[in-house]
Amino acid sequence: MPKIISVINLKGGVAKTTTTIQLAECLASAFSKRVLVIDLDPQTNATISLIPEVRWEELDSKGQTLYHLFNDKLERTKVFDLALARQRKVSNLKLRNLDLLASSIRFIDIQDRISEIPSMTGFALNPMEILKSVVHPILSEYDFVLIDCPPNLGFITRNGIEISDHYLIPSIPDTLSTYGIPQIVRKIHQFTQERPLKISCLGLVVTKYDSRSDSHSRGKRTLPARFSKIFDDLGLPQAPIFDTVMPQANATAEAMEFTNTPVSFKQKYGRSKSGDRYLYEYVEDLTRELIAHANK
């Protein structure tokens, strides 16, 4: 069975989607894993990092994004077809073992209505189980499933949590970015008390780290104790802070552009260095850690 990981932070701009894409492409390329990316974020950034925008527009117009899966339940329609929606061999690296279920900005229109789904389905379907009801048959085809979640803990995110073994928290080590982390851990723990969920925290990844920033240096120094306290207060097993610290680099943002034409993973993420290391080396180290933690 695959390792299913929801990538979550309540703060935007912390490299949540970037981390998801880097891990997915590295797992598929450098580690030869079969990977599915599920994009639940209305911003659709993971989607347009893995397929051309014109292809996304076609999927959206033909009703084959995850928005349409949820909308079908609200409108009692049957537009979404998993076989048509699943995009194979995605990424500008043309990775044969990396697939995608795309998002849509139209998620914004229905995210506050998902609680209506039980009444729309004669109480036959729980609003947290919409994604599970459709993707469960294909999950065994993958080694890893990475779910890019919206920056909230609403019903759409809870659909990702429902099927996940773990959740991963990417965060810049500053006050605003880390402020919501206790809420994430507490709420997901609460969800596991309300429903028989298997999910646990895989850990925290420090992202966009700028060694020249006093606030980043201070935050990185105090983060282990603050992160540990969250789990102590809830009586939960400790989750790690990953050893690999992802640096702030303009080249990382540029690597997310699908219109680029890299010939290899190393070229895509190795156009510049941070310190004395190429950026792709950080991604490989992070992915290696992810595999190790997920397999414990």
Where do we find the tokens 């997310």?
A: 256
Confidence of residue 266 (pLDDT cuts 50, 70, 90): very high
Confidence of residue 72 (pLDDT cuts 50, 70, 90): very high
Q: Show Cβ contacts of residue 122 under 8 Å, excluding neighbours closer than 6 positions.
A: none
- Give me the percent of the chain exceeding a pLDDT of 90: 88
The average pLDDT across 1-7 equals 96
For the four alpha carbons of 36, 38, 44 and 46, in that order, the dihedral sign comes to negative
pLDDT at residue number 191: 96
Q: Show Cβ contacts of residue 91 under 8 Å, excluding neighbours closer than 6 positions.
A: 24, 25, 28, 50, 98
Q: Check: CB of residue 23 under 8 Å from CB of residue 286.
A: yes
Q: Show Cβ contacts of residue 188 under 8 Å, excluding neighbours closer than 6 positions.
A: 153, 161, 167, 199, 201
Confidence of residue 284 (pLDDT cuts 50, 70, 90): very high
Q: Which residue has the higher pLDDT, 268 or 274?
A: 268
The whole domain housing 288 covers: 3-294
Closest among 5, 27, 2 to 204, alpha carbons compared: 5
Confidence of residue 49 (pLDDT cuts 50, 70, 90): very high
The average pLDDT across 185-189 equals 97
Q: Show Cβ contacts of residue 55 under 8 Å, excluding neighbours closer than 6 positions.
A: 87
Phi, psi of 274 (to 5 degrees): -125, 120
Cα of first residue to Cα of last residue in the chain, in angstroms, is 14
Examine the pLDDT at 21 and tell me if it is beyond 80: yes
The average pLDDT across 34-51 equals 98
- Give me the percent of the chain exceeding a pLDDT of 70: 100
d(CA 265, CA 25): 8
pLDDT at residue number 117: 86
Q: Strands, DSSP E only, in the chain?
A: 3-7, 35-39, 98-101, 144-148, 166-171, 200-206, 273-274, 277-278
d(CA 144, CA 139): 9
* DSSP-assigned letter for residue 65: S
Q: Is the pTM of this model over 0.95?
A: yes
pLDDT at residue number 162: 97
Number of domains in the chain: 1
Q: Check: CB of residue 131 under 8 Å from CB of residue 38.
A: yes
Q: Which of 86-90, 104-108, 112-116, 235-239 has the lowest mean pLDDT?
A: 112-116
Mean pLDDT of the chain: 95
Where do we find the tokens 């941070």?
A: 274
pLDDT at residue number 98: 98
pLDDT at residue number 7: 98
pLDDT at residue number 27: 98
The average pLDDT across 214-221 equals 94
Q: What is the CATH number of the domain that holds 279?
A: 3.40.50.300
Confidence of residue 118 (pLDDT cuts 50, 70, 90): confident
